Amino acid sequence: MLYDVVVDDPLSPAQAHEQPVWLSGAILTMLNKVVFPTLWITVLAWVVIWAFVTYGRISIKGGFGFIVVFVIVSTVAMMWMSVRLQLVGYCGRELIVANYRREARIPFEQVAAVESVWWYRSRLVRIRFHRATPFGDCVYYLPKWGPSRGLFSKPEEELRRVLASGPML
């Protein structure tokens, strides 16, 4: 087994003394993974329901098609991002990737690349793996203090330094 997937399991005695170092911001991740998408879908659903109840049908007036296309594209982008956005940290020589239901410990050797994302530079970090993990072959994370920290530093460098360091005891 390449990955140690933990679902509501206490840490083994060997891991109990080590606390994970989380690289991703817990509040920022929760907002972008759970809260904002839920609010967005709820508001869209209420708008559609309101329009249907008020007018008895759903129709788009001429000239407003671009707004509908924008909303659909935004919804797809938000859902795509919320699925791939994860909590990321490390403990010893393992990368911890977690969402709010499960956690996987992935050996550092499986990390192929750590990159900044061009369309959200210095505020979003992509991790590519050599093989597929329980979270796929690529995950994203929002670094702690991402929006403000990204103005002055490169958050992906922190993980690169950890990966390049020697064995941790």
Measured between alpha carbons, how far is 37 from 51 in angstroms, rounded to an integer? 21
Give the pLDDT score at 17: 56
| Domains identified in the chain and CATH numbers | 20-169 (2.30.29.30)
The answer to whether the CB of 24 falls within 8 A of the CB of 33 is: no
pLDDT in tens, 11-25: 444 444 578 888 888
- pTM (2 decimals)? 0.76
Q: Which residue has the tokens 């922190």?
A: 158
pLDDT in tens, 82-115: 999 999 999 988 999 999 899 999 999 999 999 8
